[in-house]
Amino acid sequence: MEEQRVRAGAGPIPSAHLGFVDAVKGLGILAVIWGHMDYLWSTSSVWFSSFKLAVFFVVVGLLKARRYEARGQEESCGAVWGKRLYSLVIPYGVYSLLAILAHLAFAAVRHQGMLEALRGDVLLTVTLRGIATLWFLPTLLLAELLFAAIRPESRCRAVKLLLCILMPVLLWAVCWFYEGMDLPEGLLAQAGQNLFVVAAKSVSGCWFMLCGYYIYRHLDPKRLSRPLILAVLLAVNLGLSLLSPELDFNAFRLGRFGLVFYVNGVLGSVALLELLRYLEGRMSLRPLIWCGKNSMFLMATHLPWYIAPVLVAVGKRFYTAAAPDVKYFLVMLAEFAALMAIEFVMVRCKDRIKDAITGGGKEKAVSRAIQYLGSVK
């Protein structure tokens, strides 16, 4: 009876807690922050770039596979929009407003043009390009809507195979063409360029979701959860990442080996998921799980609120490196620890404000919006 109720969509997804999923999201957001503080772009940041964003989309695909197994039905675009209105759309608006205010304050302190800063931030926000790291929220939403429109369970095996093969090839071709273009200047040209980049990243995100969905829906990645296999997979992931040190997914510049980025993103994401699944029963992953549950807040504050840039500037007063060395990494680790301490205090403050507004969990629209500000589900 319970199984029939769940498959009919009336009940929740089985409550088995996927701690390793939150942990891998935590690892992903820590890698993002590390890259924004590593101003010399060391080999560590090059490696992290191969999976730090792809893993979030692969995780969404994994969760959608579990949801389909539990309910036996796919989500429609309307259902995705209704769910993501509070978890992505409203947070995007709120965090964008806060980022604009932070940018204006920063511009005022440095005696820079506030009107120019405002105009640039509004253009980024309206075109969904996003201010700093906030690009991720509309990209994730559009990727999920595209995933729902594709309806992966309704496609035959040949179509699924074509989707997985052709999408990255076409995206790589588009990226190659885009990187070779002489882009015009002007407001409309910039708006068009922003929309193009958003669309390309959204389709890329959808492809990573499809891979995560098909892998965890039809295969058994748990067979990879052996130390030697995982070590080999991560070594291959590291080696492939070094082929594209100039990779910048946010700007949709994938380098000479753009196709490798897609394959390597799935490889690294699945390897890390299975590594953390393996470690979950052998050690505490609480710090990573905490970071994963608060990944949206960490993403939306560390760069748009100038926490990371200010700490890096302070660190440079003590030591400015020409090339990555031991002292460079020690200073960066100190900056990283200070940033995480600040973020921890801010998360605690945010949680207290949320509790005060929601009044112990009242299900009003504003309280639901605030409830989702701290995590990407």
Kindly state the tokens that stand for 107: 């511009």
Cβ atoms of 154 and 80 closer than 8 Å: no
Computed over every residue of the chain, the mean pLDDT equals: 86
Enter the DSSP assignment of 281. T
Closest to 238 (Cα-Cα) out of 42, 55, 48, 29: 48
Interval 176-230: pLDDT, tens: 777 666 667 778 888 888 898 999 999 999 999 999 998 988 888 888 878 899 9
Closest CA relative to residue 95, chosen from 376, 304, 372, 344: 304
* Sign (positive or negative) of CA dihedral 291, 211, 9, 367: positive
In which band, very low, low, confident or very high, does the pLDDT at 173 lie, cut at 50, 70 and 90?
A: confident
d(CA 185, CA 357): 45
- Chain centroid to Cα 270, Å, comes to 15
pLDDT at 372 over 70: no
Interval 43-58 mean pLDDT:
95
**Is the backbone of residue 9 left (phi > 0), alpha (psi -120 to 50) or beta?**
left
- Angle at CA 108, nearest 5°, toward 106 and 110? 70
pTM (two decimals): 0.87
Give 24's pLDDT tier (boundaries 50, 70, 90).
very high
Stretch 48-69: mean pLDDT: 93
pLDDT at 185 (0 to 100): 77
Structure confidence at residue 4 as a pLDDT band (50, 70, 90): very low
